[in-house]
Amino acid sequence: MTLRVLLADDQALIRAAFRTLIDSCDDMEVVAEAADGEEALALTRTHRPDLALMDLGMPGTDGLAATTRICADPGLAATRVLIRTTSETGECVARALCAGASGFLGKDVGVDELLGALRTVAAGDALLSPSATRAVVTRFLATPGPDGHLAPPESIAALTARERDVLALVAEGKSNDEIAEALFGTPLTVRDDVRSTLTKLAARDRAQLVVIAYQSGLVRPAPPLC
């Protein structure tokens, strides 16, 4: 199956470069290009791409606003958003994740890392760039701003004890293989546990599981190092 991608960036040369790169891959293609967030939203509704590669700092309606509206639209539930930005602060990452983004990538990544990121997010996995420090990210996730809302603790009440353990390890950024090793299981059973957890929590992907885990209080940020 071909991965259908929408490009959202206010710089035409960047969009052209990404189109050439993505269209050169046998397993993906660019289906639309947007120069701002409003156009990105409209084109996403028209083309229903599998993934939107979204620049955060576009003029007018920016990438964060567009991401929020895309992810809030039930008709676009199948579209995942990968954010690109030069601002990799904890607050920026947390706001993007809370808006519904499935991944966050800095603009200094190489070709292989970018293509790998597209495939990772399209497969339903969360993605944070290495320079996005987990301690900072989780601090913002666990302490929302005045417009934020903590996920209620009862949101995870429907989970089994094992599913709660899996959710906590997902929130720590563990892969299925790492979770299987920690819980003395197999990657296959962990995959089933993750799918069940996604269904019970009505989460679109692992990135939303990270947000739910911290905002419900299941996982708490580590204290800062002295």
pLDDT at 226: 38
Report phi then psi at 31, rounded to 5: -105, -15
Instruction: Report, in angstroms and rounded to the nearest whole number, the Rg of the chain calculated over CA atoms.
Output: 17
In the chain, which residues have pLDDT < 70? 87-90, 126-140, 142-153, 221-226
pLDDT at 22: 96
Q: What is the DSSP string of 2-15?
A: PEEEEEE-S-HHHH
* SS3 category, 28: strand
pLDDT recorded at residue 109: 82
- Residue 148 phi/psi, 5-degree rounding, is -90, 165
How much is the pLDDT for 194?
A: 93
In this prediction, residue 133 carries a pLDDT of 44
Cα 125 from chain centre:
8
Asked if residue 36 lies in contact with residue 61, where contact means CB atoms within 8 angstroms, the answer is yes
Q: Which of 47, 94, 104 is nearest to 70 (CA)?
A: 47
> How do beta strands 28-34 and 80-85 pair?
unpaired
Query: What pLDDT is stored for residue 15 in this prediction?
Result: 95
pLDDT reported for residue 40 = 97
- Where do the domains of the chain lie, and which CATH numbers do they carry? 3-139 (3.40.50.2300), 150-215 (1.10.10.10)
Rounded-to-integer distance, Cα 148 and Cα 127, Å: 22
Helices (H), ranges, the chain = 12-23, 37-47, 63-72, 90-99, 111-122, 134-142, 161-171, 176-183, 187-201, 206-215
